[in-house]
Amino acid sequence: MIPQLARYVGRAILGLTFLVMAVLLILFALYLFYEEQNDIGEGSYGVTQALIFSLFSLPRYIFDVLPIGALIGALLGLGNLSRSSELTVIRASGVSVMRLGWWAAMAGMLLAALTWVIGDYVSPPLEQYARQMKTFAKYKEVSLTANQSAWAKDGNTFISVQQQSAENQFGGVYVFHFDDQHRLQGVGRAARAEAHSGQQWQLYDYAESRLTPTDQGVHVAASRTPQQMLQTTLSPEFLGLAVTEPDALPGRVLFNYIRHLRANGQDSRLYETALWARIARTTALIFVVMLAVPFALGSTRSGNAGVRTVIGVLVGVAFFMLAKMLENGGQVFNLAPWAVAWIPTLLMAAVAMIALARAR
């Protein structure tokens, strides 16, 4: 059984954390809705669709802002207990700093479990629906959409995109040419493609097979060129519809896809980093909340409390920036995915434990 005092401290932390997260998510929703203003009016994409897109995209940002929101909420919750002398009474009753830290850690575990559920079961389907709704409202020439690839029709040409590596860069692009009678005229594959202005796509390492009817049947002529220009009305946004970024995939999907890539001898570091980052950042919530305990102890004067709160927030922001910097630069410097993901969390754990040990 959890002691009544532990539940009281946990409610103080969770209540303020949910309040802080609500404020942060409202700000994110306003920002996302503002960003959608340029797309409103294209096709049948209107204000209502932009609002739905903004709201359904919000759960994805919980992973990014929850460490900061949890730290601010814990600082405010424990700060309220400290200013009302409740924290002093709890300490006087024989509760040690480490036990307070453990109580805060239990609140962090609940936040971590909630975050994992949102990241694995709530955010991916909502975001996928939002992207499909937006794209289908703006573009009408849709042939087929899958989970890991996108098919699209542009006149008599069908294009398949297997992977999106950047905003305007794609890998594994297949091009199928048909005539007006729907007969296949040629099949081409590019190792990668880049979207250029003027409705042009630059295809690299392009191999193509052309089919020509003859009296004896069909003649197939194969060719290969380092670069090939493709004229298409399809936008990068449309072709990237079904190509989900690794950090937006559920953990179970990431795990299975990593196994698939390894079995086929392909580079899986990007997806391994996303999976380890998901686990490490969720675990970090426990230590983030524990870190608020030593900041809440000490003098209850408003000036000192304000300084401690600011320092705590800066620590949370530093953790967020370090995690993002390592995740984005891990592949550039060829770092191990597990190290990229766990270094910020381990540093946060060390800082929290040292601060708890030094607290009085």
User: Would you say residue 35 lies in a domain?
Assistant: yes
Q: Which of 239, 257, 281 is the last residue of a domain?
A: 239
pLDDT exceeds 70 at position 12: yes
Quote the CA–CA distance of 205 and 192 in Å, as a whole number.
Answer: 7
Q: How many CA atoms lie within 13 A of 91 on its CB side?
A: 17
User: Would you say residue 325 lies in a domain?
Assistant: yes
**What is the per-residue pLDDT for 287?**
92
Four-CA torsion 7, 76, 295, 283, nearest 10 degrees = 60
Q: Are residues 157 and 114 in the same domain?
A: no
Q: Are residues 306 and 195 in the same domain?
A: no
Q: Which of 195, 223, 239 is the last residue of a domain?
A: 239
Q: Are residues 206 and 321 in the same domain?
A: no
**Domain total for the chain?**
2
Q: Are residues 30 and 87 in the same domain?
A: yes
- Name the band, by pLDDT with cuts 50, 70 and 90, for residue 183: confident
pTM of the model: 0.71
pLDDT in tens, 255-297: 887 887 787 677 788 888 888 888 988 999 999 999 888 888 7
Query: Do 229 and 200 touch, CB atoms closer than 8 A?
Result: yes
Rounded mean pLDDT, 149-177: 71
User: Would you say residue 144 lies in a domain?
Assistant: no
Q: Which of 213, 239, 265 is the last residue of a domain?
A: 239
Q: Which domain holds residue 272?
A: 4-138+246-358
User: Would you say residue 296 lies in a domain?
Assistant: yes
Q: Are residues 35 and 11 in the same domain?
A: yes
Edge-to-edge strand order for the sheet containing 217-231? Answer: 142-145, 150-154, 157-166, 169-178, 184-196, 200-214, 217-231
Q: Are residues 76 and 31 in the same domain?
A: yes
Q: Count, in order, helices (H) and strands (E) of the chain.
A: 11, 7
Burial of residue 296, with CB atoms counted within 10 A of its CB: 0-12 exposed, 13-18 middle, 19 or more buried: buried
CA 232 to chain centre: 30
pLDDT in tens, 50-94: 899 999 988 888 877 888 889 889 988 888 888 888 888 888 888
Q: Are residues 10 and 123 in the same domain?
A: yes
Q: Are residues 166 and 59 in the same domain?
A: no
- Name the band, by pLDDT with cuts 50, 70 and 90, for residue 298: low
User: Would you say residue 176 lies in a domain?
Assistant: yes
User: Would you say residue 199 lies in a domain?
Assistant: yes
Q: Are residues 117 and 194 in the same domain?
A: no
Residues 6+ apart with CB under 8 A from 18: 73
Structure tokens at 109: 């575990």
Quote the CA–CA distance of 77 and 202 in Å, as a whole number.
Answer: 55
Q: Are residues 227 and 255 in the same domain?
A: no
- Which residues are paired to 166 by β-bridges? 169
| Residue from 342, 345, 311, 340 nearest 325 by CA | 340
User: Would you say residue 261 lies in a domain?
Assistant: yes
Q: Domain holding 213: CATH number? A: 2.30.30
User: Would you say residue 51 lies in a domain?
Assistant: yes
**What is the per-residue pLDDT for 319?**
81
- Name the band, by pLDDT with cuts 50, 70 and 90, for residue 241: very low
Four-CA torsion 189, 194, 200, 205, nearest 10 degrees = -30
For 47, 76, 301, the CA distances from 91, given in Å and listed in that order, are: 54, 18, 18
Q: Are residues 129 and 189 in the same domain?
A: no
Q: Are residues 131 and 275 in the same domain?
A: yes
